[in-house]
Amino acid sequence: MQRPIRAFVALCGKELRLLSRDRHGLLVLFAVPTLFILIMSLSLRDAFRAGAEFSIAVTVIDEDGGALSRDFVEALLQQQGFRPIETPADAEVVIRVAPGFSELLATRHELADSFRGGAVEPAMLLLEFQPSVLPQLRAAAALAVRQCLLSVQSDYLMAEVMGYGDDEMQTMRYLNDPRNLPVTESYRSAGGRAAVTPTSVQQNVPAWLIFAMFFAVIPLASAFVVERQQGSLLRLRVLGVPSTLLLASKVLPYYVVNLLQMIVMIAVGVWLVPALGGDRFTVGQSAFGLWLIGTATSLAAIGLALLVAVRVRTTLQATIAGGAISLILAALGGVMVPKLVMPTAMQQLTAVSPMAWSLEGFWDIVLRQGGWQDALPEAASLAGFGLICLVLAAWLLHRNSINTTTTT
């Protein structure tokens, strides 16, 4: 029992010494994602505050059931840019039609004077957005809802408006101002907490942190190839060190590096980006949740890196394969381009990327203000992916060792 433990500690120390001497590898792991966070957060700051054409998944919950509410829901679901879905949990915006909607809409012109006088008009609609919805999409969706509501109300009141005098026309001008429509907007959150308003830094810090963790595939695979070429792996196998122990000795050092990456990248978002004029990164309410999703992401990244490492044969292959895989997963996972600005087909394709799972897990904590339980599904998926990759890597390494010994 003592021998495997001593061997494991010695191998971990060896990995840390090799990593500390690899200045280029450390530069890739820390300097590159820091630059990405700074450049992307500052350059995309205004891109999160614009208006444009949109496509957004919407669920409508009619709690009124009246004639006007049915007309409104029917008209709403025909709006260009709205993609109706039945499951509220998967919707980017949930629109709730309040009880009494039909009655209030029908009599609203009679109450207009009191509303103009300062009385608070009861909300007829509640728009609950996912925090990951970009502000320009939120603005476009809210405007479409208000226009649809105004259209339904105008159709209903048209017959009564005919022949009205000046006072009645002033009332209609009040009613026809979209700003006066009783619509409440909010961000959906976890556990009843107030969600954080999304900004460019809330997108870029988790995104490029995840990318940095997965980019560890290049230095890890390159170091593995060098050990194989120098005969270190073969000597360890001859000494009876099992494949699983060899791989496990590489997991812990790189896990420590990944945690340091997370601390540094979060610190950049919290202090350095605001100092340069950008928005401040909000870390959420659950430090354990951040550690959980960060640990699961690290396990997935290291598992994938080791699987690549046992397959490649040269450092050039390690660099090309590792870089290509990381870039593809980042492009698919919403790291380079936010998911919600992608076409619908591309949004569905993001589900194949573990980087997308990790990004959702971080958003559960930093945007939706959830606890660690909210990030548990994504963390479990990432951990499962990492373990599968580690098992495959151990099996391939063991098989290659047998083939090498037989040939020798």
Give pLDDT tens digits for 332-368.
888 887 777 676 777 788 888 999 999 999 988 888 8
The per-residue pLDDT for 25 is 63
Tokens of 326: 């990381």
Higher pLDDT, 316 or 176: 316
Task: Kindly state the greatest CA–CA separation across the chain.
Answer: 102
Choose the weakest-confidence range: 13-22, 142-151, 216-225, 339-348: 339-348
Q: Taking Cα atoms as reference points, which of 146, 204, 139 lies closest to residue 176?
A: 146
Assign 3-state DSSP to the chain and report helix, strand, coil percentages, each to 5. Answer: 70, 5, 25
- E-strand ranges in 193-318 read none
Tokens of 37: 């966070």
- Taking the C-alpha atoms of residue 253 and residue 11, their distance in angstroms, rounded to an integer, is 10
- Taking the C-alpha atoms of residue 302 and residue 308, their distance in angstroms, rounded to an integer, is 10
DSSP 285-349: S-HHHHHHHHHHHHHHHHHHHHHHHHH--SHHHHHHHHHHHHHHHHHHTTSSS-GGGS-HHHHHH
Q: Is 20 exposed, middle or buried (0-12, 13-18, 19+ CB in 10 A)?
A: exposed
User: Contact, 386 vs 300, CB < 8 A?
Assistant: yes
CA atoms within 13 A of residue 251's CA, in its CB half-sphere: 23
- Taking the C-alpha atoms of residue 177 and residue 200, their distance in angstroms, rounded to an integer, is 32
Q: Taking Cα atoms as reference points, which of 154, 100, 98, 165 lies closest to residue 127?
A: 98
Mean pLDDT across 191-198: 61
Asked if the model's pLDDT at residue 215 lies above 80, the reply is yes
**CA distance readout (Å), 399 to 228, 234, 244, 302:** 15, 13, 12, 20
Higher pLDDT, 287 or 336: 287
**CA distance readout (Å), 333 to 29, 74, 140, 176, 351:** 19, 34, 24, 42, 7
Higher pLDDT, 48 or 258: 258
User: Chain-wide mean pLDDT for the chain?
Assistant: 76
State which of 11-25, 116-130, 156-170, 384-398 shows the largest mean pLDDT. Answer: 384-398
State which of 74-78, 81-85, 351-355 shows the largest mean pLDDT. Answer: 351-355
Per-residue pLDDT tens for 264-279?
999 999 999 888 888 8
State which of 36-50, 87-101, 174-188, 222-236 shows the largest mean pLDDT. Answer: 87-101
**b/e burial code for range 104-122 (CB count within 10 A of at least 16 → b):** bbbebbeebeebeeeeeee
Question: Which residues is 95 bridged to in the sheet?
Answer: 60, 127
Q: Is 12 exposed, middle or buried (0-12, 13-18, 19+ CB in 10 A)?
A: middle
Query: Edge to edge, what strands does the sheet with 183-187 contain?
Result: 82-84, 56-62, 93-97, 125-129, 183-187
- Taking the C-alpha atoms of residue 368 and residue 260, their distance in angstroms, rounded to an integer, is 24
User: Model-level pTM?
Assistant: 0.68
Per DSSP, the three-state class of 403 is helix
- Taking the C-alpha atoms of residue 389 and residue 301, their distance in angstroms, rounded to an integer, is 9
Query: φ and ψ at 124, to 5 degrees?
Result: -95, -25
Please tell me what DSSP assigns to residue 100: T
- Taking the C-alpha atoms of residue 56 and residue 92, their distance in angstroms, rounded to an integer, is 6
- Taking the C-alpha atoms of residue 51 and residue 390, their distance in angstroms, rounded to an integer, is 45
**b/e burial code for range 186-214 (CB count within 10 A of at least 16 → b):** ebbbbeeeebbebbbbbbbbbbbbbbbbb
Per-residue pLDDT tens for 109-146?
544 444 444 444 556 778 888 877 777 778 778 888 88
Strand 125-129 relative to strand 93-97: parallel, antiparallel, unpaired? antiparallel
